[in-house]
Structure 1
Amino acid sequence: MFARFLIRRVVFAAVVLWLVTTTVFILFYVGSAETVARRIAGPRAPQAVVEQIKANLGLTDPLFTQYRRFLGGLFHGDLGTSFILNTPVGTLLWQSLPATLWLVAGASVLWLVAGIAGGVVSATHARTWIDKGTTLFVLTGVSLPTFVLGLLMIFIALSVLAPLGFAFLKPGAFVSPFADPVEFLRVMIMPWFCLALVQTAVYTRLTRGSMLDVLGEDYIRTARAKGVPERAVVYRHGLRAALTPVITQFGVDIGTLLGGVVVTESVFGLQGLGQLMIRSVRDGDLPVIIGAAILASIFIVVSNLVVDVAYSFLDPRVRLA
């Protein structure tokens, strides 16, 4: 039963990826050849130079030929070459990926632990001052834009803490933890907390609502009537059922953020996938734009596939759907 469930999900994921890649190709290649060639040649270049650039890039070939070449490259792991930097797209993505991966990985641990813990505490102390305080935090976190929070953190770190002798935190380009662990922490702590604080508010609210629904179910009342300790009722019976929407949201968020945490990376200057995409869109670098879009879609599809599998373990009824 589980094998058939998994095969269906994998086939569905493959179809989604094919549709996404085809859509991205059509959106960026159809009607874009003139714009791209003109941007490379310069605004005052003769039309003959523009046409020569289009021919050199293969943009004058029939659309089906371009699409076949595009798919052939994907099957061989070749995403093409940057029109602007003359560098393989795979190399550019590989250089930018670590910053985004470490940012999302560190922040996701913080927001998942804090969000679930806060939601459980708020739900088990409903309508008390603890619940009201948590609600205030949630509303503040949801209402605070990421770029405002990031700039506020930088201001506090550089203008308040640094003059007092606490100069450990600083914004800057990503540094590998294997090359310099201390510098890695100095650069990443603020982005982690900036991204996690906003997401924690969302997960606290989601966990609280889900826990309140679950704690009102008949089987929870039955467990309490049988004398099961409250801690076991909440964490063993209630939390597992309440986690299903949380895990679903977590998979969506992870996939989306791995595609490029544009605002956080830009505020702290991390040089990740988000900033690579911004530069590529600004320069009209089609291969890099398409490569980044395909990579982002792969992250989203794979994360949702993992969530479907995890969801089926949390709620076996999903396997029958």
Structure 2
Amino acid sequence: MVGFVVRRTARMAVTVLAVVLVTFGLTKLAYQNPARMLAPDNASQETVDAIANSLRLNDPWWVQLWHYVVHGPEIKGTPTGLLNWPPSLGYSYRMQRPVTELIAEKIPVTASLAIGALVIWIVLSVLAGVYAARRPGGWFDTISSGASYVMLSVPTFVTGVVLLYVLFYQLSLHGLKFFPSGGYVPLTENPAEWARHLLLPWLTLVLAEVGLFQRVVRASVLEVAGADYIRTARAKGLPPWRVYFDHALSAAANPILTLGAIEFAAILGGAIITEQIFGLDGVGRLAVNAAQSGDAPVVIGCTLFGAVVFVLSTFVIDVITHARSGK
């Protein structure tokens, strides 16, 4: 087990390093005059030159990369490199704030979106997948299979726009103003309004994911449904729900956990489309705005945040599934 964890940790470090290299290189290609783009709109030439010197933009790219990772620009005498403690993701000269602080402010929004949607689609997928596996080829299995293919075929932005049009615009025209058009209310401020403002974004993500998960759950349960211990459980007279949920689903949990971790990390790392449609000021929207304005440190920071979330999620699931396998 220790050797497995060490290997996975080394793989995580290599993955994050590769993301830093690729993202850093792409920003160098995309932004031809980064110092001017990073500076505020009314900045003087002296300010632009100071930004260029701070980021070593006049040095070769490998010097800039080394400076970004090891030291970073000094803000109030404090280095802001990745390898400092606490680690820093650089500094946004356009917004005059550390990138780490900017991302930290947006995490509650994106986390609320991702975690809420994950809980809903996992619950629905497990219930629908297990029920379909109990009667393969039956009416529910046939209908859910067709619905899954439809949901997988429709892009997320189309689902979000349709839901906004039907559940917000059309209902509002008829005097039913339950669904807000967008925005975010913090959970600590008003839990009911927090959930109400996230209902449509959650539903958008759930419809995009539940079809795939339902099919994975169904296939995983069917794969173990003919095992000896399942037949033994039935022979003992256990209720069907216990046979499938306590025994079959538990044995088929590994692929479900793996897929769930990957999808959760993808959403948490950058729910760009959903946040843009519903006006949620999360990490994904921050990354889009930074890319449009040429704020390279924020672009790199958001990309690195998404990569870290992804590798940590897959690492945790790999450890859990390895421990479940008993190796």
TM-score, normalization: structure 2?
0.86
Higher share in helix: 1
CA-CA distance at 1:63 after TM superposition = 3.3
| Alignment partner of 2:163 out of 135, 143, 153 | 153
Residues 24 and 300 in structure 2, CA contact (< 8 A), matched pair in contact too:
yes
Please list, as runs of the form range in 1=range in 2, the aligned pairs for 1:1-321 lying within 5 A after superposition.
2-29=1-28, 31=29, 34-37=32-35, 39=37, 54-55=52-53, 57-72=55-70, 73-76=81-84, 77-221=87-231, 223-224=233-234, 230-316=240-326, 319=327
Mapped to 2, the partners of 1:270 and 1:48 lie a distance apart of: 36
Moved more, 144-153 or 198-207: 144-153
Mapped to 1, the partners of 2:168 and 2:89 lie a distance apart of: 41
Mapped to 2, the partners of 1:211 and 1:146 lie a distance apart of: 28
What is the identity, as a one-letter code, of the residue corresponding to 1:13? M
What is the identity, as a one-letter code, of the residue corresponding to 2:33? T
Residues 241 and 315 in structure 1, CA contact (< 8 A), matched pair in contact too:
no
Moved more, 112-121 or 32-41: 32-41
What is the identity, as a one-letter code, of the residue corresponding to 1:278? V
- Structure 2 portions without partners, runs of 5+: 71-80
Residues 123 and 208 in structure 1, CA contact (< 8 A), matched pair in contact too:
yes
What is the identity, as a one-letter code, of the residue corresponding to 1:243? A
Mapped to 1, the partners of 2:139 and 2:283 lie a distance apart of: 42
Q: How large is the RMSD of aligned CA atoms in angstroms?
A: 2.8
CA-CA distance at 1:176 after TM superposition = 0.8
Mapped to 2, the partners of 1:108 and 1:85 lie a distance apart of: 32
Residues 34 and 54 in structure 1, CA contact (< 8 A), matched pair in contact too:
no
CA distance 1:90–1:50, change in 2 (3 Å)? closer
What is the identity, as a one-letter code, of the residue corresponding to 1:22? L
TM-score, normalization: structure 1?
0.87
CA distance 1:87–1:51, change in 2 (3 Å)? closer
CA-CA distance at 1:96 after TM superposition = 1.6
Q: Give per-residue Cα distances to partners, 1:51-90, cap 9 Å, x unaligned.
A: 7763454201243432232122112222111142232111
Q: Give per-residue Cα distances to partners, 1:128-158, cap 9 Å, x unaligned.
A: 1111121122122112221122112212233
CA distance 1:232–1:175, change in 2 (3 Å)? closer
What is the identity, as a one-letter code, of the residue corresponding to 2:96? N
Runs of 4 or more off by more than 6 Å in structure 1? 47-52
Mapped to 1, the partners of 2:315 and 2:139 lie a distance apart of: 39
3-state SS in 1 of match to 2:90: coil
3-state SS in 1 of match to 2:97: coil
Q: What residue in structure 1 maps to residue 73 of structure 2?
A: none
Residues 117 and 203 in structure 2, CA contact (< 8 A), matched pair in contact too:
yes
CA-CA distance at 1:162 after TM superposition = 2.6
CA-CA distance at 1:14 after TM superposition = 2.5
Residues 118 and 206 in structure 2, CA contact (< 8 A), matched pair in contact too:
yes
Mapped to 2, the partners of 1:266 and 1:190 lie a distance apart of: 13
Residues 56 and 63 in structure 2, CA contact (< 8 A), matched pair in contact too:
no
CA distance 1:56–1:239, change in 2 (3 Å)? closer
Mapped to 1, the partners of 2:239 and 2:184 lie a distance apart of: 48
CA-CA distance at 1:247 after TM superposition = 0.7
- Structure 1 portions without partners, runs of 5+: none
CA-CA distance at 1:282 after TM superposition = 1.3
Mapped to 2, the partners of 1:281 and 1:181 lie a distance apart of: 32
